[in-house]
Amino acid sequence: MNLNTPYLGLDLPHPLIPGASPLSDTIDSVRRLEDAGAPAIILRSLFEEQIERDQMAALQAETHEQSFAEALTYFPTPQSFVFGPDEYLEHLRRVKVAVSIPVIASLNGATPGGWLEYAQLMEHAGADALELNLYRVAFDIALSSQAVEREAVEVVREVVRIVKIPVAVKLSPFYSSLAQFATQLDEAGAKGLVLFNRFYQPDIDPETLDLNRSLHLSDARELPLRLRWLGALSGQTKGSLAVSGGVHSGRDAIKAVMAGAHGVQVVSALLQHGPEHLKAMRKQMEDWMQEFEWESLAPMRGNMSLKRCPDPTAYERANYVQMLQSFRPS
């Protein structure tokens, strides 16, 4: 079976890419991923807040201005992060030396600013591509959806301007007109879109009056939302498409490819079962393709997208109406 896939201009032997996670934090775990057959690896994100805190601390040290010291209290503490900005770049260099597969660096932010220069530093440190994770929580009631999108496009355009490596943009599903926004990112120079990042919601403890933060790994129930938008965007944008979230088996990966994915990012399944689970997922894909007589992924990719599937109404409002009207309680 031929599982070769193009992603961000990289020719990969299969689409199952370990996404940004703690599995990239040590050289040993990165090597385990390579040994398990990872075609590329995405490092955990460097955050806008980390970079801006570092820059403000350096400025305070130079000027001894106390207002900067007060401003630093609004940022997460350095202990909140695994790597500082300089440590991240050094880790990237070490990973590039340790493995022979492509290494994709990750920047996480939302607004234009000096932190974007780290995209270029990541390129100089050896990154083969960059994943720009746009994670914006827009609580300002004076900020319009157009302004939020405009700032995001500006971030992408600036990053694309300053680096020569391909840039993928990781999105949330919560933009008001996601398909149109995707075309704006395409026009801004993004070479790929990753659907989707996960929004982590605080819970309320009514007894202690605390906001609790907890991280729950994804499961396959998160996949249909991603399949829907992969299918809607397949053939509509020029760059690669990747899925992130809800892929736990080879069959899940096949679904994503049929919807239009070039890359299939896997994190939760690897955190649960270990890096070697990649081998099992690849074998599941190969077995499925052999059973149903698919020789390669190329003719399969996008064959169940909005443009090409037998029943396009399944992607549209008609599906919503039919689902509600046909449901009968047991």
pLDDT tens digits, residue range 138-149? 888 999 999 999
Per the rule left: phi > 0, alpha: psi between -120 and 50, beta: everything else, 102 is beta
Tell me the domain boundaries of the chain: 5-44+82-303
pLDDT tens digits, residue range 146-184? 999 999 999 999 999 999 999 999 999 999 899 999 999
pLDDT of residue 322: 76
What Cα–Cα distance (Å) separates residue 251 from each residue in 106, 196, 246, 296?
27, 19, 11, 15
Q: How far apart are CA 64 and CA 82, in angstroms?
A: 27
pLDDT of residue 16: 98
pLDDT tens digits, residue range 68-94? 343 333 334 554 556 789 999 999 999
- Count of residues in the chain: 330
pLDDT of residue 61: 40
Cβ–Cβ < 8 Å for 15, 262: yes
pLDDT of residue 53: 62
What Cα–Cα distance (Å) separates residue 123 from each residue in 4, 7, 103?
25, 18, 10
pLDDT tens digits, residue range 115-127? 788 999 999 999 9
Top CATH class, 5-44+82-303: alpha beta
Instruction: Break the chain down into helix, strand, coil percent, rounded to 5.
Output: 45, 15, 40
pLDDT of residue 57: 41
Cβ–Cβ < 8 Å for 269, 243: no
280 vs 64, which has greater pLDDT? 280
Q: How confident is the model at residue 212 (pLDDT cuts 50, 70, 90)?
A: confident
